C-alpha cells in the first residue's frame, strides 16, 4: 500500500509522527506540500518568513530523499483547492492512506474536515496525528469539563500532562520506493523563484543546523534566561521561534531535549530552563484558545464586548509607529529593527504593542497585521494572543490600566542605550541622562529626530478614562 504524508507547519525530518507511522507501515511513502500563494497573500505573511520557508523546503527535500521519500511541491491558489487536488493525486498514484498533523486555526480545521470528507469518497483513509502542541488542546479541561480561560491553572494541568507523555517519537525509517508526482516535476523552480529573496540568509535552514542551534542554547544560555531574557542588546532569548512557527522544531522534541539536559530540575520553578519551558506552554495556550474559542480567528476580541470599543483611526500616527518615528526612542528602535531584520525581541514586542494600543489608541488588529507582514516567526496564534494581551481584550490579558511607560522600559532594559543607538543613531550625541527622553535635553531642537507624537501622561490618562467609561457603559447596558 502506498501512503502520502501531507506537510504543513511541520517541516522537519525528525520527531515527526506521520512520517514515523507511515514508514513503519508502508513500503512506499511520498510527501506533499502545497504552495498556496493567494492564501499566504491573504494572511499577509512576511516575505522573510516565506524566504526561510522555501529554503527549509529545499533542505527538507534532500533530507527526506535520503530516506527514500520524495517531497512534492504542488501549487494551488488557496486552501479551498486542496481537497480536490489531494483526491486527484491519491487516485492517480494509487495512494490509500493520507497522514498529517492536526492544525488548530479555524481555516485550517475547516480545510482538514473538507479533505477527510473528500478523500473518504475516494476510499482513502486519513490518519491525523498531534505533534503541533506539546499537549493536545482537546485534552485539557477544567473540573467542569470547560476550557480554561486563564493561563496559570491551564499551565498546572499542562505540566502534569507533559510529564506523563514525554517520550521519544520513533524515528523515520528508510523506505524502498517513493513517487514524484508529474504535477510537481516542472513546478519547483517556478514555485520558489518569486519567494526566495535572501532576506533570511542569517537563519540556518538545514535540520542539523537547527538542532545544533537548539543544543547550543540549552547547553550554554538557557540557564541565564531569567536574567537576560528582557535585555534586547544581549543574546538572552533562543531565537528559535521561526523554527517553531514552521514546525522545524517540535515542542515535544524540545521538551524531551530539556528533560535530557536538566532532568527533574527542569520542573523546579525559578530556574531559567523552567521559565523557558513555560514559554512553550504559552505557545500551546494560545493554540488552545484558538481551538476552544475560534472567534478569535476572525479578528474578533476574545472578550467580545471589546469588539465595539472605539479605537482611533489616525493613519498618520500609525505610519509613525510603523516607521519608527514616534519620538519614543525604544519604540522607534524596536520598529526599525523589525523593519530591517524581520525580528523583534519579545520584551520590545510588548512595549510597542502597548504603545500602539494604549498610547495611540489605534486598533490592535492593525498592529497584529503589521507584525505578520514583517516577522520571520509570524505565527497567528502567538501573534494574536500577544496583541490581545497588550490591548486588554484577550484571555488572561493585562488589565486596561497596565500601560508601559516607554521611557521607563528603555531605562530599565537598555540603560546604556546599546540597542537603542544601533537603530536610532540620530541620538548618538544625546547625553545618557536624556537618551530615553531626548525631548528633555536642552539641545533637543538640534536633533534630526521627531518630537513625541503624543505626550505620555496625557495619552495614558485619556486611555484609562476611555476604557473605564466603556466598561461602565457595558455594565449598565447589561442591567
Is 441 part of any known ligand binding site? no
Q: Sign (positive/negative) of CA torsion 155, 223, 406, 370? A: negative
∠ CA 207-217-272, nearest 5°, is: 140
Question: Within a 13 Å sphere around the CA of 185, how many CA atoms are in the beta-carbon half?
Answer: 5
Asked if residue 256 and residue 113 are part of one domain, the reply reads no
- Listing from the earlier edge strand, what are the strands of the sheet with 125-129? 70-75, 28-35, 2-7, 95-101, 125-129
237 neighbors 346 (Cβ within 8 angstroms): yes
Note whether 26 and 141 are same-domain residues. Answer: no
Q: Are residues 126 and 26 in the same domain?
A: yes
Of the listed 122, 199, 279, 426, which one is catalytic? Answer: 279
pLDDT at 185: 38
| Within-domain flag for 189 | no
Q: Match 542605550 to its residue by C-alpha cell.
A: 417
Q: Are residues 248 and 337 in the same domain?
A: no
Q: Do 164 and 145 fall into the same domain?
A: yes
Distance of CA 62 to the CA centre of its chain: 26
Question: Coil, strand, or helix at residue 325?
Answer: coil
State yes or no: is 311 an active-site residue.
Answer: yes
282 annotated as belonging to a binding site for a ligand: yes
Active site residue 383: no
415 an active-site residue? no
Q: Which three cell numbers stand for residue 274?
A: 523552567
Which residue matches cell numbers 507533559?
A: 162
Active site residue 389: no
Nearest to 450 by CA among 315, 358, 339, 316: 316
The span from the CA of 479 to the CA of 471, in Å, is 13
Catalytic choice (6, 364, 366, 423): 364
Q: For residue 58, give its domain range.
A: 2-132
Q: What is the CATH number of the domain that holds 145?
A: 1.25.40.80
> How is residue 175 written as a grid cell?
523506505
Catalytic residue flag (residue 268): no
Q: What is the pLDDT of residue 190?
A: 67
**C-beta separation of 299 from 306 below 8 A:** no
Q: Are residues 123 and 29 in the same domain?
A: yes
Catalytic residue among 40, 311, 343, 441: 311
CA-nearest of 320, 300, 304 to 364 is 300
Q: Within a domain: residue 186?
A: no
Annotated binding residue 131 = no
Q: What is the pLDDT of residues 145-201, one digit of tens each?
A: 999 999 999 999 999 999 988 877 778 888 876 666 654 434 566 677 778 888 999
Q: 10 Å Cβ neighbour count for 34?
A: 21
Quick one: pLDDT at residue 167?
74
Q: Taking the chain (479 residues) in consecutive chunks of 10 residues, what is each chunk's mean pLDDT?
A: 94 97 95 96 97 96 94 95 97 96 98 99 98 96 97 97 82 74 52 82 97 97 95 95 98 94 94 97 98 97 97 98 99 99 98 99 99 98 98 91 97 98 98 98 97 98 98 78
pLDDT of residue 186: 40
Distance CA 11, CA 243 (A): 9
Clarify whether residues 247 and 370 are in a common domain.
no
284 belongs to an annotated ligand binding site: yes
Cell numbers standing for residue 329: 526612542
Domain contains 455: yes
Task: Say how far apart CA 102 and CA 138 lie, in whole Å.
Answer: 12
Tell me whether residue 445 is in a domain.
yes
Residues 137, 280: Cα–Cα separation, whole Å = 14
Single out the catalytic residue among 282, 321, 366, 389.
Answer: 282
Full-model pTM: 0.95
Number of domains, the chain:
3
Q: Per the residue annotation, which of 110, 339, 346, 373 is the catalytic one? A: 346
CA dist., res. 39 & res. 33, Å (int): 14
DSSP symbol at 341: H
Distance CA 342, CA 351 (A): 17
Q: What is the CATH number of the domain that holds 105?
A: 3.40.50.620
In a domain, 255, yes or no: yes
Q: 148 and 234 share a domain?
A: yes
285 annotated as ligand-binding: yes
Do 40 and 55 fall within a single domain? yes
What is the C-alpha separation between 390 and 351, in angstroms, rounded?
9
Q: Which candidate, 322, 316, 166, places its Cα nearest to that of 250?
A: 166
Examine the residue annotation and report whether 469 is marked as an active-site residue of this protein.
no
Which residue, of 83, 114, 132, is where some domain finishes? 132
CATH of the domain at 469: 1.10.579.10
Amino acid 184: pLDDT: 43
Amino acid at each position: 500500500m502506498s501512503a502520502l504524508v501531507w506537510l504543513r507547519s511541520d517541516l522537519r525530518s525528525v520527531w515527526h509522527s506521520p512520517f514515523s507511522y507511515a514508514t513503519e507501515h508502508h513500503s512506499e511513502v511520498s510527501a506533499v506540500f502545497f504552495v498556496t500563494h493567494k492564501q499566504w497573500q491573504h494572511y499577509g505573511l512576511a516575505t522573510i518568513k516565506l524566504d526561510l520557508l522555501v529554503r527549509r523546503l529545499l533542505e527538507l527535500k534532500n533530507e527526506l530523499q535520503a530516506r527514500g521519500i520524495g517531497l512534492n511541491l504542488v501549487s494551488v491558489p488557496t486552501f479551498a483547492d486542496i481537497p480536490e487536488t489531494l483526491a486527484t493525486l491519491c487516485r492517480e498514484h494509487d495512494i490509500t492512506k493520507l497522514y498529517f498533523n492536526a492544525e488548530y486555526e479555524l481555516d485550517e480545521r475547516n480545510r482538514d474536515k473538507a479533505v477527510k470528507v473528500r478523500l473518504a469518497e475516494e476510499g482513502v483513509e486519513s490518519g491525523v496525528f498531534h505533534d503541533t502542541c506539546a499537549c493536545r488542546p482537546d485534552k485539557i479541561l477544567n473540573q467542569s469539563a470547560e476550557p480554561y480561560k486563564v493561563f496559570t491553572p491551564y499551565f498546572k494541568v499542562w505540566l502534569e500532562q507533559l510529564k506523563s507523555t514525554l517520550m521519544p517519537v520513533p524515528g523515520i525509517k528508510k523506505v524502498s520506493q517513493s513517487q514524484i508526482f508529474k504535477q510537481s516535476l516542472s513546478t519547483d523552480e517556478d514555485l520558489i523563484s518569486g519567494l526566495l529573496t535572501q532576506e533570511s540568509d542569517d537563519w540556518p535552514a538545514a535540520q542539523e543546523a537547527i538542532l545544533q542551534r537548539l543544543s547550543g542554547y540549552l547547553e550554554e544560555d538557557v540557564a541565564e534566561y531569567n536574567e537576560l531574557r528582557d535585555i534586547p542588546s544581549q543574546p538572552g532569548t533562543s531565537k528559535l521561534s521561526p523554527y517553531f512557527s514552521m514546525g522545524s522544531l517540535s515542542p515535544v522534541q524540545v521538551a524531551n531535549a530539556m528533560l535530557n539536559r536538566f532532568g527533574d530540575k527542569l520542573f523546579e520553578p525559578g530556574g531559567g530552563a523552567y521559565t523557558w519551558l513555560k514559554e512553550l506552554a504559552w505557545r500551546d495556550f494560545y493554540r488552545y484558545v484558538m481551538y476552544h474559542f475560534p472567534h478569535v480567528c476572525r479578528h474578533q476580541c476574545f472578550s467580545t464586548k471589546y469588539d465595539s470599543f472605539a479605537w482611533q483611526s489616525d493613519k498618520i500616527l500609525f505610519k509613525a509607529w510603523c516607521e519608527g518615528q514616534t519620538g519614543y526612542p525604544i519604540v522607534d528602535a524596536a520598529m526599525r529593527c523589525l523593519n530591517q531584520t524581520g525580528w523583534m525581541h519579545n520584551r520590545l514586542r510588548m512595549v510597542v504593542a502597548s504603545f500602539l494600543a494604549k498610547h495611540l489608541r489605534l486598533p490592535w488588529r492593525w498592529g497584529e497585521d503589521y507584525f505578520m507582514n514583517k516577522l520571520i516567526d509570524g505565527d497567528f496564534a502567538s501573534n494574536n494572543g500577544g496583541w490581545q494581551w497588550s490591548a486588554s481584550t484577550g484571555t488572561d490579558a493585562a488589565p486596561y490600566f497596565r500601560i508601559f511607560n516607554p521611557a521607563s522600559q528603555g531605562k530599565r532594559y537598555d540603560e546604556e542605550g546599546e540597542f537603542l543607538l544601533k537603530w536610532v543613531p540620530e541620538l548618538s550625541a544625546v547625553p545618557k541622562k536624556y537618551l530615553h527622553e531626548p525631548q528633555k535635553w536642552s539641545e533637543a531642537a538640534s536633533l534630526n529626530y521627531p518630537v513625541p507624537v503624543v505626550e505620555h501622561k496625557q495619552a495614558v490618562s485619556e486611555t484609562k478614562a476611555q476604557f473605564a467609561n466603556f466598561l461602565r457603559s457595558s455594565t449598565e447596558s447589561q442591567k
